[in-house]
Homo-oligomer: A and B are copies of this chain.
């Protein structure tokens, strides 16, 4: 994925040229901080790829791509407050390093900055780009709300779970690609197909996230394996286990197991009930849908299409 590395490098250079050294520093320092923590810059890379797929000017897509990344980081800052997460990418979260008020306000400012960057497109495409960005941003809020609501529920239906991860995760991948395609002057139909590719790649990505959290290789996976199990999160694995082995799931839900014993017991149930296999099937179904959508989106640049195909496969099958 040579091109993806190039996109990521372009984005890093663009970010490095931005000046967040403004007053009041209590507002802007947290923004610099979270943006400097790194991450894979997958979403802005997708914006550049979406543009490149139609042989658009990458230069025109750089600031919108940065807007997508700033938006993603805004959502991390606010989600981390809501989830009371102490650590992000191995460093203190913003609300831990400063405080909750500063994190709320820095997040708000980042959402506005994201709009400023995303709006830096030719005025001919500005209405379409904005419409896509705003509806996506709203959907992501809806997804976060659903995720929080699910925590208080006994069980979650598969469809509701898929809808939640579509909103919380997949739509931003779709929008990142679509905005890039619009900058590359793709037709509405092509841009829509590319969006659909992003949605399905995002769903595969999130199902793989659930799988890695339960079965990842601790030497590769960044977080502690079994985190979702210990928090009793309603992941797709848990939903399938309840469906395929209701009694076993109920027994484990009621059991007093904790720590590694709890993780191992659920891992065993996921494997033996067939939940793991079913999740893998679902993941690969989404990957197949993504690949199909990509065919319809095919732009002028076949090499980029190949890279995107490879990228979706990597998202779905990554080990970290």
Given known contacts A104-B81, A108-B141, A145-B26, is B130 in contact with A115 (CB within 8 Å)? yes
B109 & A82 in contact (Cβ 8 Å cutoff): no
Question: Quick one: copies of this chain in the complex?
Answer: 2
Evaluate whether A115 and B127 lie within 8 angstroms (CB atoms) in the complex, with A24-B146, A105-B78 already known. Answer: no
Closest B residue to A146 by CB, please name it.
Answer: B24
**Is the CB–CB distance between A109 and B27 below 8 Å?**
no
Query: CB distance A137 to B123 under 8 Å?
Result: no
State the Cβ distance, A127 to closest chain B Cβ, in Å.
Answer: 5
Give the secondary structure class of A's interface.
helix
Rounded to whole Å, the gap between the CB of A98 and the closest CB of chain B is 11
B-contact 0/1 string along A104-132, CB 8 Å cutoff: 11011101110110010001001100110
The answer to whether A82 touches B101, judged by C-beta atoms less than 8 angstroms apart, is yes
When distances are taken between beta carbons in the complex, the residues of chain B under 8 Å from A123 are 123, 126-127
Q: Which residues of A contact B (CB under 8 A)?
A: 22-24, 26-27, 78, 81-82, 101-102, 104-105, 107-109, 111-113, 115-116, 119, 123, 126-127, 130-131, 134-135, 137-138, 141-142, 144-146, 148-149
Chain A to chain B: the 10 pairs with minimum beta-carbon distance, closest first = A27-B145, A109-B141, A82-B101, A112-B137, A24-B145, A116-B134, A112-B138, A123-B127, A119-B130, A108-B141
